[in-house]
Amino acid sequence: MTFKTSPSLLAADFLHLESEIRRAEAAGADMLHCDVMDGVYVPNISFGFFIIRQIAKITSLPLDVHMMTACPQNYLDVLKNAGAASVTLHSDVMPMDELIETLKKIREMGMKAAVSLRPKCPASDVFPCVPYVDMILVMTVEPGFGGQKFMHDMMPKVAELRAYLDEHKPECEIQVDGGVAPDTVAECAKAGASNFVVGTASFRAPDMGEALRGIVKTAEDAVKEI
């Protein structure tokens, strides 16, 4: 299993965003996680497409855009033009038939597609989406705010998804987001996650490179024990 890190820009210093991105690049990040919040789907507002466009101009890292918004289907062209490499939609934001059509359109536009489960949503909610996604995101906190405590009770959901994917689409990644840190990443890896959104534990670590390497090493060591 190949493990990837996706530092979350919510934890970056926005007064020095370019230098923070350079720091993530130098630290060996695999992608940058961009949380777009509209104050409707979640009770918070983060940043929008203009910021993503500016980020895309200065980095070669793939931009992993997590749409925590109402009506994300209205912004696919904007996301493509802004430089998004992958787009994640929440499973409960629209009816399943519309969700599948939107995921298909994302891929037709040349971006990777992903679907996310917030804590209250069971793994089975996204089973119909599996043929149309490259990744499934399991939220290990309630979406909307960074710095929350990791929800250990989400690990059975990750394991259930991994078992389903191993049977139906082994190449599909499972991403986890929320409270992922050196003391929680091992259980994420053991459950079957391979893509780690890291906020506070990356940008606010004394040495970001050491922190990201440590997270990957801990995950690798954890799966060796299985």
Spatial distance between the Cα atoms of 21 and 163, rounded to a whole number of angstroms? 35
Residue from 38, 166, 177, 221 carrying the catalytic annotation: 177
Q: What is d(CA 93, CA 11) in angstroms, rounded to the nearest whole number?
A: 25
Strands (E), 83-188: 86-90, 112-117, 135-139, 173-177
Catalytic residue list contains 177: yes
pTM of the model: 0.96
Choose the catalytic residue: 13, 30, 35, 97: 35
| Crossing angle (nearest 10°) for helices 17-26 and 208-224 | 40
Secondary structure tally for the chain: helices H, strands E:
8, 8
For the question of residue 30 being annotated catalytic, the response is: no
Per-residue model confidence (pLDDT) at position 138: 98
pLDDT (tens digit, 9 = 90+) per residue, 116-169? 999 999 999 999 999 999 999 999 999 877 677 999 999 999 999 999 999 999
Identify the structural domains of the chain with CATH numbers, from first to last.
4-224 (3.20.20.70)
